[in-house]
Amino acid sequence: MYLSQNRYLKKLSKFKMENCKPVQTPLELQPNYDVTKECIVNAKPYRELAGSLMYACLTTRPDICTAVNFYSQFQTDATEVQWVGLKRVLRYLKGTSDLGLWFKGISDVLLLGYADTDFANRPDRKSVTGDLFEMYVDAVCWATNKQQTVALSTTVRVCGPSFSNCRATLAYAIVYRFRY
């Protein structure tokens, strides 16, 4: 089974990015945190675009999850810099609109998980953790979370946020196993 949001992504034309130049990544290597300039939240549809991209990232596009998570932090005080960065995600989607999720279910490995963190690479020293869980080699659960506290160990940074997502995936795996 293949899930794609090609038609939904075409509806994002209301943000006037149809003729944009595609980019290779949804997020710059060192995104800008600066919010000292003039706020544009009331002047531009920043929240609407962030919400539209959040829908795409939660359903079939885990590749934009980190970028959407980053720019969603600025929904009350976004500047032109964050607006340009959020539109970069649209530019990335323009070049990758044919991507989606394949569900094949042809593996002996029931559950496999991956986790990564940026190790407090932000001004507030709070880490961002991303994880992805696969069942029979098919992605079934993914998330990007900014941690609420400053973690003092690598184990807490990486494993802590992933455990809650793992519990949900395991519950799904158990139900799936008994159902089929």
Residue 167 and residue 140 share a domain: yes
Residue 79 and residue 60 share a domain: yes
In terms of residue numbers, what domain contains 153? 105-179
Residue 32 and residue 91 share a domain: yes
Q: Are 143 and 58 in contact (CB under 8 A)?
A: no
Q: Tell me the pLDDT band of 91, cut-offs 50, 70 and 90.
A: very high
Residue 155 and residue 68 share a domain: no
Task: For 46-59, write each residue's pLDDT tens digit.
Answer: 999 999 999 888 88
Residue where a domain stops, chosen among 65, 83, 100: 100
Residue 114 and residue 33 share a domain: no
Q: How many domains are there within the chain?
A: 2
Task: For 126-149, write each residue's pLDDT tens digit.
Answer: 777 777 777 777 777 777 777 776
Residue 95 and residue 65 share a domain: yes
pTM value is 0.71
**In this model, does residue 38 exceed pLDDT 60?**
yes
